């Protein structure tokens, strides 16, 4: 345990991961589920180390919100409630409240 927290090595891993994730996102080699997982990985790194300034791009575009809501609806229709909840939680973390109503799904920024 002589190397309890090698911050230099940790940062190198984080930034290499960011580089690889950005490359995958730029080439559209991932579906929206993978993109959400990438964002969750980056958010996890940021919660621990606080070096990514993850909050700076806090606001999602309306089109991104609509896309995630559509994906959530598909997950609910397929009874994939874990996925549906994960998408809801991701949106909530971004300040988006989801309301399931008789008329359909509504969202608003909190």
Please state the domain extents for the chain: 1-57, 58-110
What does the alpha-carbon distance between residue 72 and residue 87 come to, in Å, rounded to a whole number? 6
pLDDT in tens, 51-88: 776 654 445 677 888 899 999 999 999 999 999 999 99
For the entire predicted model, the pTM comes to: 0.47
Q: What is the mean pLDDT of residues 16-29?
A: 78
Task: Please check whether residue 92 is in contact with residue 66, taking contact to mean a CB–CB distance below 8 angstroms.
Answer: no
pLDDT band at 44 (very low <50, low <70, confident <90, very high): confident
Check if the beta carbon of residue 73 is closer than 8 Å to that of residue 105. Answer: yes
d(Cα 109, Cα 92) in Å, to the nearest integer? Answer: 9
Mean pLDDT along residues 103-109: 87
> 55 versus 101: which is more confidently predicted?
101
Q: What is the pLDDT of residue 71?
A: 94
Whole-angstrom Cα distance, residue 74 to residue 80?
A: 8
pLDDT computed for residue 50 by the predictor? 75
Burial class (CB in 10 A: 0-12, 13-18, 19+), 1: exposed
- The pLDDT mean for the chain works out to 81
**Residue for token pair 């990438």:** 38
Residue-level pLDDT at 60: 65
């Amino acid at each position: 345990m002589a190397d309890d927290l090698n911050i230099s090595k940790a940062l190198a891993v984080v930034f290499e991961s960011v580089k690889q994730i950005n490359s995958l996102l730029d080439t559209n080699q991932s579906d929206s589920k993978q993109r959400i997982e990438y964002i969750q990985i980056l958010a996890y790194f940021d919660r621990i180390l606080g070096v990514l300034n993850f909050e700076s791009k806090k606001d999602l575009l309306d089109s991104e919100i609509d896309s995630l809501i559509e994906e959530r609806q598909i997950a609910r229709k397929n009874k994939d409630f874990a996925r549906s909840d994960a998408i809801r939680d991701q949106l909530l973390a971004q300040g988006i409240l989801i309301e399931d109503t008789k008329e359909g799904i509504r969202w608003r920024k909190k």
